[in-house]
Structure 1
């Protein structure tokens, strides 16, 4: 059976995030002329093009911030975007400009605290994007969403395209999407209702584990099939541990993965606090963190603990050696 045209919304291909790597494994070998990604400009960073090289950037014609919040935001142009992977900025580069610091350290935290974060932006299908959709003519819509405006836009895409759709959950972001700030109860209920309406429209529901599938089936009354990153045995076998002795003079605990405002940051902080409380005497325990996250608020929280060591960024192919 010939491959069908797939449009992906909500996650670009990359080699550093769980969602991006999952996409790569899921669609590896798919004909390039039959796969495309559409996503927000700020998310199209350090993308890979070995599986897919067609990207439509949702810019100022589709993605709008309400006044006066738009004054703090960088504008992105709408349309097809090409990438020179060799020249793109490495994922671990820190954008430490004044605007970047203000937006990430003060603007976004204020919006979350004030209960405005889920209210300030809208996504809609522009004339330019509608014409591009007609030209590409997707036959399947694949979704990875994790924000309210993405949920609303995904429903609009389903209604507009009228093709079979798939949604893939990478983690339990619905449980933490509105867990803080003023009006958190209001936004939690509203987003939960909007998400359930999206799930009613979607034809196939995917998770990343059996346990998540069981939980989501109870919560949303839908059957979820698990699919996550398979292990490439040839990449890992050379680094299989042969000895498991622990030298108390230097014990290393490794965390590898994304750290964000979805509850993971709090969990890693708790682990760091526990390790600090145990370190002393004969035990010298260090928590090595391997992450693409460069959120200064999260990094500053973790740097308060003596046990924390941030590893330099590494490509996925280097991870097996780091784990060994």
Structure 2
């Protein structure tokens, strides 16, 4: 093992391959940007075309290969095409749509998903051979499910190397926490993570509060890594935000996890801002499927515009066109528990864009704390319409406040999120994990499945 190398050989295990199609894939690509391509390999389960921007060595491990034949063909008979995620099959999607408004259907949908997540995994010999031929120094994964956790642990045991898990939200505490499969699903989550942690000398998370909680929970050290921003993003011309006339609020991101409800609150609050004599508008840029599913909830709001979905290279210009950038989280008790330690992929980009931020969501969640720590925005941490109207009015009225918050955001982003600094720390952490695990490769191989 070449432990003295600056970049260890890393086998990445994930659902989504390196690409720019989602926040998780984007964060993954940014963290590994600049890594020598011959020292990166990836096993991915998703039906997405990988990008060669960061990595060139891939093994696609589709559902046809990792479900047992009886499972695979049973799900095909239920209308699944065998390529897209199971929840996108027509029958399951119908249950999902009904689950949006009917609690009984929501429970049925959760049971179906838990059954698929816990079902046995079939591992083809070709995958084992490919991973061993790659000769990784360490396995890295953002996990996210029982199934992917088990595949990641299997990869580490097969190669006799340590694992570095990277948790970007608190899914271990929330994934199957409502008694799915009579409690067996939650037990499977805890058992699969416990087995994985035994292969991990250290871990990664997405915020400092999460690092502290996970170190206590799993008894290994954790380091926080959020999405990072390229230097060219800072160098892009920003110009002056519109200080006169219309105040342009812009939101870029997904609408799931009930985020659409918080955006709807803001849209309704804009009427109160306008009554104070301040022209204002909110533009929402979300994925096409989210706009199709949730767009109807904004139809009655006159000061809300549904903008086009954006490719990753279109995001910087959209952010710089704003007077104020909007970040939201749901106040739903179950969802706020899931997102309490998370920091959105977009926040580093928001900070680096030179625009102030309006944060609307539970005051205690890590994303709001991150904006607060940067002193780069106004946080409305309670689900109270009067407070939202008041604080939003003050932000729209005070150009000097917006300018100060914007400058603070740029300074904080350069210090905490510049890719060069984050990438160096990221590589050093993976190097330390490879070095820590190299003394006991046989122990990793002998871990029980």
Q: TM-score, normalised by structure 2?
A: 0.56
Counterparts of 2:177 and 2:244, CA distance in 1: 39
Asked whether the 8 Å contact 1:25–1:230 carries over to 2, the reply is yes
Counterparts of 2:80 and 2:242, CA distance in 1: 50
Counterparts of 1:227 and 1:104, CA distance in 2: 34
Equivalent residue of 2:65, what SS? coil
Asked whether the 8 Å contact 1:113–1:181 carries over to 2, the reply is no
Structure 1 residues 54, 167: closer, same or farther in 2, change over 3 A? same
Displacement, 1:295? Answer: 5.3
Structure 1 residues 168, 16: closer, same or farther in 2, change over 3 A? same
1:216-244 Cα distance to aligned partner (Å, 9 max, x none): 22333332101222222332343436346
Unaligned runs of 5+ in 2: 100-104, 321-449
Counterparts of 1:161 and 1:192, CA distance in 2: 23
Structure 1 residues 293, 205: closer, same or farther in 2, change over 3 A? farther
Counterparts of 1:177 and 1:104, CA distance in 2: 19
User: Aligned match of 2:250 in 223, 236, 254?
Assistant: 254
1:127-165 Cα distance to aligned partner (Å, 9 max, x none): 121222232222221112111211222222222221122
Counterparts of 1:184 and 1:270, CA distance in 2: 31
Asked whether the 8 Å contact 1:258–1:293 carries over to 2, the reply is no
Q: Give the equivalent residue in structure 2 for 1:323.
A: 319
Asked whether the 8 Å contact 1:239–1:321 carries over to 2, the reply is no
Displacement, 1:186? Answer: 4.8
Counterparts of 1:237 and 1:271, CA distance in 2: 32
Displacement, 1:205? Answer: 0.4
Q: Give the equivalent residue in structure 1 for 2:152.
A: 154
Instruction: Trace 1:160-239 onto structure 2 (pairs within 5 A).
Output: 160-178=158-176, 183=181, 186-239=184-237
Structure 1 residues 214, 27: closer, same or farther in 2, change over 3 A? same
Asked whether the 8 Å contact 2:146–2:188 carries over to 1, the reply is no
Counterparts of 1:102 and 1:198, CA distance in 2: 33
Q: Give the equivalent residue in structure 2 for 1:26.
A: 31
Asked whether the 8 Å contact 2:128–2:158 carries over to 1, the reply is no
1:262-294 Cα distance to aligned partner (Å, 9 max, x none): xxx21x133133124324363576543333462
2:59 pairs with 1:56: yes
2:44 pairs with 1:39: yes
Q: Give the equivalent residue in structure 2 for 1:104.
A: 93
Q: Give the equivalent residue in structure 1 for 2:285.
A: 290
Structure 1 residues 114, 321: closer, same or farther in 2, change over 3 A? closer
Equivalent residue of 1:146, what SS? coil
Q: Give the equivalent residue in structure 1 for 2:128.
A: 130
1:178-227 Cα distance to aligned partner (Å, 9 max, x none): 35685585533441343233223222201122232123223333321012
Displacement, 1:58? Answer: 0.7
User: Aligned match of 1:74 in 71, 81, 87?
Assistant: 81
Counterparts of 1:181 and 1:164, CA distance in 2: 32
Counterparts of 2:297 and 2:124, CA distance in 1: 46
Unaligned runs of 5+ in 1: 77-94
Displacement, 1:166? Answer: 1.0
Asked whether the 8 Å contact 2:30–2:229 carries over to 1, the reply is no
Asked whether the 8 Å contact 1:13–1:47 carries over to 2, the reply is yes
Of Structure 1 and Structure 2, the greater helix share is in 2
Counterparts of 1:197 and 1:290, CA distance in 2: 40
Displacement, 1:14? Answer: 0.9
Equivalent residue of 1:229, what SS? coil
Moved more, 251-260 or 165-174: 251-260
Q: TM-score, normalised by structure 1?
A: 0.75
Counterparts of 1:202 and 1:258, CA distance in 2: 32
Of Structure 1 and Structure 2, the greater strand share is in 1
Q: Paired residues, what number?
A: 292
**Higher gyration radius (CA):** 2
Q: Give the equivalent residue in structure 2 for 1:311.
A: 307
Asked whether the 8 Å contact 2:95–2:109 carries over to 1, the reply is no
Asked whether the 8 Å contact 2:8–2:138 carries over to 1, the reply is yes
Equivalent residue of 1:118, what SS? helix
1:42-70 Cα distance to aligned partner (Å, 9 max, x none): x2424311111222111322234466334
